[in-house]
């Protein structure tokens, strides 16, 4: 079994007090972190990347939720790939559905962001997923294929990290069914190998209402190489429970 990746996406949550508390809970559980059979990563808001630098000493990667589509320049309010690299980010989300929905990110912009991560030696995690309407209209696979190809076509990346996050399962408390997850993940891998690069290694994470209660089922499913967890990652104890659950798969 390949090493799973468990990433916690805090979105725009938390404050300095909660960051400190989170780190102290992780510190108290250093043995569990040392024994983790999954790679762990926390993606706090940009503002707390500095305050969370200790993560790397705790054997947890630091990640970012987004990055600018430009190398540098007069782009007020943006954060560049090189800045994230300075903050020791290993992973960066590209194309999270909330970026697509509220900030209208797609196509070329996402392709540029993806490439900038690679240029700066960070690992982009491309997030894709269909809306409920698209699923009900039988468009799921078309949407996934389009979202994959518009960013990954021609990529030089040797290892791909993709998060399948059905939009209707994000933050709703209703996760996708195991069979739907397995089907989507199988489709994603097959599409990558057929249309992008037959030799590339690919990990597909599932995201969408993953909790410590459903992780055993969802994250051990066929073709599931990890999880992208939002709400349940905000509480260090819950995040650790999910990490523990992954240990039990091996």
Q: Site residues (CB under 6 A) for ligand PGA?
A: 9, 165, 170-171, 207-210, 228-232
CB-based contact 150:111 (threshold 8 Å): yes
In the bound state with ligand PGA, the residue whose beta carbon lies nearer, of 41 and 228, is: 228
Q: Which two tokens stand for residue 237?
A: 């104890």
Catalytic sites, residue numbers: 96, 165
**SS (HEC) of the chain:** CCCCEEEEECCCCCCHHHHHHHHHHHHHCHHHHHHCCCEEEEECCHHHCCCCHHHHHHCCEEEECCCCCCCCCCCCCCCCHHHHHHCCEEEEEECCHHHHHHHCCCHHHHHHHHHHHHHCCCEEEEEECCCHHHHHCCCHHHHHHHHHHHHHCCCCCCEEEEEECCHHHCCCCCCCCHHHHHHHHHHHHHHHHHHHCCCCEEEEEEECCCCCCCHHHHCCCCCCCEEEECHHHCCHHHHHHHHHHHHCCC
Q: Which two tokens stand for residue 132?
A: 């409920």
Distances (CA, A) of 243 to 15, 97, 138, 160: 23, 24, 34, 22
Q: In whole angstroms, what is the distance from residue 49 CA to residue 26 CA?
A: 16
């Amino acid at each position: 079994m390949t090493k799973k990746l468990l990433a916690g996406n805090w979105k725009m949550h938390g404050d300095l007090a909660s960051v400190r508390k989170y780190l102290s809970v992780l510190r108290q559980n250093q043995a569990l972190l040392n024994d983790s059979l999954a790679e762990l990563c926390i993606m706090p808001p940009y503002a707390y990347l500095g305050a969370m630098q200790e993560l790397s000493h705790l054997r947890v990667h630091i990640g970012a939720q987004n990055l600018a589509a430009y190398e540098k320049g007069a782009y007020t309010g943006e954060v560049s790939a090189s800045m994230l690299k300075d903050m020791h980010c290993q992973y960066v989300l590209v194309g999270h559905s909330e970026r697509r929905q509220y900030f209208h990110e797609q196509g070329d912009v996402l392709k540029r962001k993806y490439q900038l991560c690679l240029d700066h030696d960070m690992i982009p995690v491309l997030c894709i997923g269909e809306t409920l309407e698209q699923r009900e209209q039988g468009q799921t696979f078309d949407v996934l294929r389009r979202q994959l190809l518009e960013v990954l076509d021609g990529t030089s990346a040797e290892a791909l990290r993709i998060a399948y996050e059905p939009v209707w399962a994000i933050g709703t408390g209703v996760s996708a069914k195991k069979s739907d997850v397995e089907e989507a993940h199988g489709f994603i891998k097959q599409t990558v190998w057929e249309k992008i690069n037959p030799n590339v290694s690919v990990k597909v994470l599932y995201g969408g209402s993953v909790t410590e209660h459903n992780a055993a089922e969802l994250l051990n499913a066929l073709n599931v190489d990890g999880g992208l967890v939002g709400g349940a990652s905000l509480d260090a104890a819950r995040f650790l429970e999910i990490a523990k659950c992954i240990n039990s798969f091996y």
